[in-house]
Structure 1
Amino acid sequence: MIIRHLQYVVIASVLMLSGCSAMPTTWTHPPMAIPYQPSLQQQIQLARIEQILQQPNIPQTTLATIYYDRGLLHDSLGLRDLARLDFNKSLTLNPNQPDLYNVAGVIFTQMGLFDLAYEAFDSTLDLAPEHPYAHRNRGIALYYGERYDLANDDLLPHYQLDINDPYRVIWLYINDLKFVPEQAQTLLQQRYAASDKQDWGWQIVRMYLGDISEAQFLTEIAEQSKDNQQLALRLTEGYFYLAQRYQNQQDYSTAVMLYKLALAGNVYEFVEHRLSLLELDRILTAEQNAAPVEPVPPNA
């Protein structure tokens, strides 16, 4: 039944896209995946952890690992507050956990608490200077903190470690649009040309470069996703990076729609899901701050 429903979604999406323009404002039924639901395995893992925690005399380091693992599970289910409680317990028991500081930094970034995010990523790199993700995540936090030069200092070396990772190129480009806007498109083209172009994420770069239209980009996601899981993952990424384009063009109403679509798959673990929430909050806050104050009647 799920497979039949997925086929319907994909076919309907392709038919819709084939007849529309590239502008998202013309969409009536954008491609959608069946939203992620808690799996039986995740629920069993949580139940097992609860049983383990009832046992007496658990070593402190083991207990720290258990709370960390449960925090990751809560985070993957979108239970952010429960995840933070578990991470805090884990850190109290064992502060020597670079991966945990990295996760905490990502969560602080999502919450807009950038100074705390910087401190968390600094702690990760103090404990593990070669951590594979901390520089990228700190660069993203610095970008949202509008410290574009420092973001470049993290994102550029991170890209140079693997020039075939499209997401390193994409985040450099997003920061370049603020840091060196007149060079951003040229640098993106150069980095694309230097890559092996193997990863699916290069389609996002091709869309940014104008090599494929937005309709083609989404049609390929709908046609080529092998199952609902892959469809949900790719749409989460695709809608987020499309929203970035429209937000950069100051088309905030379209960006808001796209960020909401990025959230629709419930892919809580993806940075694009987390940052869609942050972007929506930032847009709403900016609109509220820009709204004119209504005059108070004299006899009110």
Structure 2
Amino acid sequence: MKWFRTVSASLALMLLAGCVSKGAQEAQWIYPPMAVPLQNSVQQEVQIARLTQLLQRQDLSDKVRTKMLNDRGNAYDSVGLQDLARLDFSQSLAIDPKQPDIFNLLGVYYTGVDQHDAAYESFDTALEMNPDDIYALRNRAVALYYGERPELALEDMKALDEKTPNDPFNALWSYIIEYDINPEQAKQQLLNRYSAHNDSWGWTIVALMLDEVSEQQAFTFILEHTHDNQLLAQRLTETYFYLGKRYQMQGQLAHALSLYKLAISMNVYEYVEHRYSFLELERIFKQVRDDKAAAEKAAKQAKEQEEKV
């Protein structure tokens, strides 16, 4: 999900997804459902080249230069060149600092690279300029979660629920954040929200998170209702990320690692689920290193105690 701002699928789509049918009533996944990874288009590359040429002109007004920097920054971001995008957005803010949307974008970038203080500052600035920015509010809650401030994150999520009730992605992040504080209460809250869900696509992921549907049922639903490769890539990116979170919260780190890598593989660069998959991978690797170091230290201390005896 980008936060800034009935019958079976066709044979080609089923093959693309890695699903092999076994009779009319049964299907087994041989490979994980996939979309063709999104590729940079000629139009995107031409846009970047043209804007780069135009930005070399000295006769541009501040207003025009700011817009061009933002346009090129968004173009860079859409092809995965996040550092170049950040530089353009920073230059744009240097010319015109009254741009809450750009502060929100920078906050997402800082969250993804674990620069929590910079992320908080960016989101705070965005919300000071535009208190009704629901994306900045949710993004700040997520940043607070990754910064290990779940209580503050939940305050933002509660404020967000008042502005946009019955949003499945709000429900998912409220659950993820509250799980660190009270797992049983978090699950009950999510069940309550799911019981009043609407037809929005994201509730399928909520059902998957709650085990209300199986993984095969969820992916079958996605494949049967998604006949466009770009939309398929986007939905699979979201699904793999939140399914990875579910396994990670259950302590099944090997499954979580694989799912985060699948979320990354679709190349849906603009989605926070793509960005935060890298962050989750780093957190898992760190946890494994820390656990290994602790185990080695404990073993060493036990050996020393045996030698003393």
Task: Identify which range, 255-264 or 66-75, moves more after superposition.
Answer: 66-75
Question: Of 21, 35, 54, which residue of structure 2 is paired with 1:15?
Answer: 21
Cα deviation, 1:93-112, whole Å, max 9, x if unaligned, reads 11111111100000000001
Q: CA deviation at 1:32?
A: 0.8
Report the CA distance shift for 1:291/1:95 in structure 2 as closer, same or farther (over 3 A): same
- In the alignment, the residues of structure 2 paired with residue 31 and residue 182 of structure 1 have an alpha-carbon distance, to the nearest angstrom, of 31
Q: How many residues align?
A: 285
Cα deviation, 1:139-184, whole Å, max 9, x if unaligned, reads 0001111111100010122122222321111111111211332211
Please name the residue that 1:147 is paired with.
149
Cα deviation, 1:219-245, whole Å, max 9, x if unaligned, reads 211222121111101100110010000
Equivalent position SS for 2:103: helix
- In the alignment, the residues of structure 2 paired with residue 216 and residue 4 of structure 1 have an alpha-carbon distance, to the nearest angstrom, of 18
Output the amino acid matched with 1:202.
Answer: W
Q: How many percent of aligned residue pairs carry the same amino acid?
A: 45
Please name the residue that 2:214 is paired with.
213
Cα deviation, 1:27-65, whole Å, max 9, x if unaligned, reads 651111100001222123213212321333111232122
Q: Is 1:58 aligned to 2:69, yes or no? A: no
Equivalent position SS for 2:183: coil
Kept after mapping to 2: 8 A contact 1:18/1:215: no
Please name the residue that 1:231 is paired with.
232
Kept after mapping to 2: 8 A contact 1:98/1:123: yes
Kept after mapping to 2: 8 A contact 1:114/1:141: yes
Pairs within 5 Å for 1:146-225: 146-195=148-197, 197-225=198-226
Report the CA distance shift for 1:14/1:107 in structure 2 as closer, same or farther (over 3 A): farther
Report the CA distance shift for 1:14/1:221 in structure 2 as closer, same or farther (over 3 A): farther
- Which runs of no fewer than 5 residues in structure 2 stay unpaired? 1-9, 301-309
- In the alignment, the residues of structure 1 paired with residue 53 and residue 21 of structure 2 have an alpha-carbon distance, to the nearest angstrom, of 50
Report the CA distance shift for 1:177/1:244 in structure 2 as closer, same or farther (over 3 A): same
Equivalent position SS for 2:200: coil
Question: Of 63, 77, 80, which residue of structure 1 is paired with 2:79?
Answer: 77
TM, length-normalised to structure 2? 0.86
TM, length-normalised to structure 1? 0.89
Pairs within 5 Å for 1:12-161: 12-13=18-19, 15=21, 18-20=26-28, 28-161=30-163
- Alignment RMSD: 2.1
- In the alignment, the residues of structure 1 paired with residue 232 and residue 241 of structure 2 have an alpha-carbon distance, to the nearest angstrom, of 14
- In the alignment, the residues of structure 1 paired with residue 271 and residue 26 of structure 2 have an alpha-carbon distance, to the nearest angstrom, of 29
Equivalent position SS for 1:211: coil
